[in-house]
Amino acid sequence: MSNSPKIIIIGGGAAGFFAAITCARTHLHSQVTLLESTAIVLAKVRISGGGRCNVTHHCFEPAQLVTNYPRGGRELRGAFARFQPKDLIEWFESQGVALKKETDGRVFPMTDTSETIITSLLKTAKKANININIHSEVINIIKKENLFRVKLKTGKILEANRILIATGSNTTGYQLAKSLGHKITPLIPSLFTFKIKDSRLQGLEGISVAKVGLRLVGVDKKQQYQQSGSLLITHWGISGFGVLKLSAFGAKILHKKEYNMSLVINFLFPDNLEEVKQKLLNFKAQNLKLNKLISSFSPFNLPRRLWQKLLAHVNVEQKKTWKELSQKEIIKLAQELVQGQYKISGRGVFKEEFVTCGGVNLKEINFKTMESKICPDLYFAGEVLDVDGVTGGFNLQSAWTTGWLAGRAMGNKQ
């Protein structure tokens, strides 16, 4: 038995599959069984990235990579030194899956369909002789001496020397972890859009700004509550990369305040109030002799309709010319452009990606092996851990990396 360890992987998602494949391929003597509660494995991979599967991010520097994880970045630093996006890209390429990088750094299969990733994982798992059991929900685990007894909802009991919990954000997974002595940090949503009802945004649905600064008001000036990135005006409020990033880094405080907080938008980020004021003054000086309408000419690269909305909000008439613009109006306009406050009144969905903040307490895990420090021979990988990243392929990467580390380690021990 000790030469041929029985390994049970609970959860047929990205983390579970990668762990199972890694374990079976590096430790040929191990018997790997993967248990999936539903009828379909890799369901989240299928819908990820809008069905295109944003497998990872083109960032090969671990120190830089971890800045994209509001939770778990510190622990992942060493993990990424062992298995990072570059390794993942090479891994898929060695399986005949070509990947491509988009301009924003997101990496997708060349085919633009998650089916390619799923087919590759299934094929590799089959070749590695992994025993995949669907309709196999684990409801209870008991450890006696060095053996785990894994009970399925069907009543069946399986035995294993080592087990991996890779159940994603599913509640039963957290219950299993708790029953084996682990603490679960509170579970709350991450990666969401903001509901904002504001006349300044009305009628502008679909308009985007490439880079804005966003800051939550009424909290200490922690870096995490100030983010920058693209902004998209939607029917219900705002979305875009900058907004999603702030939702992830501010997930806890936003949840605590029941998604009712004020937000400052700097439409001209990284310029500050003084710089914008100066640009407005300079533009006025350059146009003193011309009868240019303020509403038609702006010194900034902002969508015209947004510019006009903001002018209306500070009561600058559409017919006014630049030479008629007063000093007082310039100050008000500059403030509106870089310090305008908006009231967040709720959380909206982001259909392309969603992740849970919270999970198995990271202090209880050895991130070299993903083994529990509380219950020997128990391992964790993927979203069940208190790790989450911003949108862009970072969440799947943490699932691949932690799955890979666990897979290597689980077959190793005798």
Ligand X SMILES: Cc1cc2nc3c(=O)[nH]c(=O)nc-3n(C[C@H](O)[C@H](O)[C@H](O)COP(=O)(O)OP(=O)(O)OC[C@H]3O[C@@H](n4cnc5c(N)ncnc54)[C@H](O)[C@@H]3O)c2cc1C
Q: Which of 5, 189, 382, 407 binds ligand X (CB under 6 A)?
A: 382
Bridge partner list, 57: 106
Window 140-169: contact mask with ligand X (x via CB under 6 A): --------------------------xxx-
Q: Which of 118, 138, 251, 357 binds ligand X (CB under 6 A)?
A: 138
CA distance 350 to 367: 30
161 or 401, CB closer to ligand X?
Answer: 401
What's at 364, amino acid-wise? E
166 or 243, CB closer to ligand X?
Answer: 166
Asked if 49 touches ligand X (CB under 6 A), the answer is yes
Q: How far is the CB of 176 from ligand X (least distance, A)?
A: 6
Window 395-414: contact mask with ligand X (x via CB under 6 A): xx--x---------------
Residues in 318-337 at the binding interface with ligand X, rule: CB under 6 A:
none
Which has the closest alpha carbon to 12: 37, 46, 31? 37
Chain-centre distance for alpha carbon 16 = 19
Asked if 248 touches ligand X (CB under 6 A), the answer is no
Q: Which helix (H) or strand (E) holds 263?
A: strand 261-266
Q: What is the dihedral of CA 87, 23, 92, 75, to 10 degrees?
A: -40
Phi then psi for residue 258, to 5 deg, are 55, 35
- Token pair of 244, please? 């999603």
Q: Which of 25, 27, 44, 277 binds ligand X (CB under 6 A)?
A: 44
22 or 37, CB closer to ligand X?
Answer: 37
CA distance 410 to 147: 14
- Token pair of 93, please? 């390429």
298 or 402, CB closer to ligand X?
Answer: 402
Q: Which residues, other chains included, contact 225 with Cβ-Cβ below 8 Å and sequence gap of 6+? A: 215, 216, 219, 246, 249, 250, 253
DSSP, res 239 = E
Kindly determine how many residues on this chain lie close enough to bind ligand X according to the rule CB under 6 A.
37
Asked if 239 touches ligand X (CB under 6 A), the answer is no
308 or 401, CB closer to ligand X?
Answer: 401
Question: Which residue, chain included where needed, has tokens 């599959």?
Answer: 17
Residues in 50-79 at the binding interface with ligand X, rule: CB under 6 A:
53-54
Q: Which of 7, 8, 9, 13 binds ligand X (CB under 6 A)?
A: 13
Radius of gyration for the chain, computed over Cα atoms and rounded to the nearest angstrom: 25
Q: Which of 99, 280, 333, 355 binds ligand X (CB under 6 A)?
A: 355
Stretch that binds ligand X, among 178-186, 295-303, 333-341, 391-399 (CB under 6 A): 391-399
Q: How far is the CB of 158 from ligand X (least distance, A)?
A: 12
Bridge partner list, 32: 7
CA distance 146 to 1: 12
Residues in 118-137 at the binding interface with ligand X, rule: CB under 6 A:
137
Q: How far is the CB of 69 from ligand X (least distance, A)?
A: 11
31 or 54, CB closer to ligand X?
Answer: 54
Q: Which residues, other chains included, contact 84 with Cβ-Cβ below 8 Å and sequence gap of 6+? A: 60, 62, 65, 397, 401
Asked if 359 touches ligand X (CB under 6 A), the answer is no
Residues in 97-116 at the binding interface with ligand X, rule: CB under 6 A:
none
14 or 365, CB closer to ligand X?
Answer: 14
Q: What is the dihedral of CA 185, 385, 410, 98, to 10 degrees?
A: 180
Asked if 242 touches ligand X (CB under 6 A), the answer is no
Residues in 21-40 at the binding interface with ligand X, rule: CB under 6 A:
35-38
Q: Which of 236, 259, 300, 354 binds ligand X (CB under 6 A)?
A: 354
Bridge partner list, 108: 100
On whether the CB atoms of residues 390 and 102 are closer than 8 A, the answer is: no
Neighbours of 392 (CB within 10 A): 24
93 or 102, CB closer to ligand X?
Answer: 102
Which has the closest alpha carbon to 253: 229, 213, 214, 224? 224
Q: Which residues, other chains included, contact 236 with Cβ-Cβ below 8 Å and sequence gap of 6+? A: 193, 195, 196, 348
Q: Which of 73, 173, 229, 359 binds ligand X (CB under 6 A)?
A: 173
Stretch that binds ligand X, among 194-202, 270-278, 358-366, 387-395 (CB under 6 A): 387-395
| Interface residues toward ligand X, by CB under 6 A | 10-16, 35-38, 43-44, 47-49, 53-54, 137-138, 166-168, 170, 172-173, 352-355, 382-383, 393-396, 399
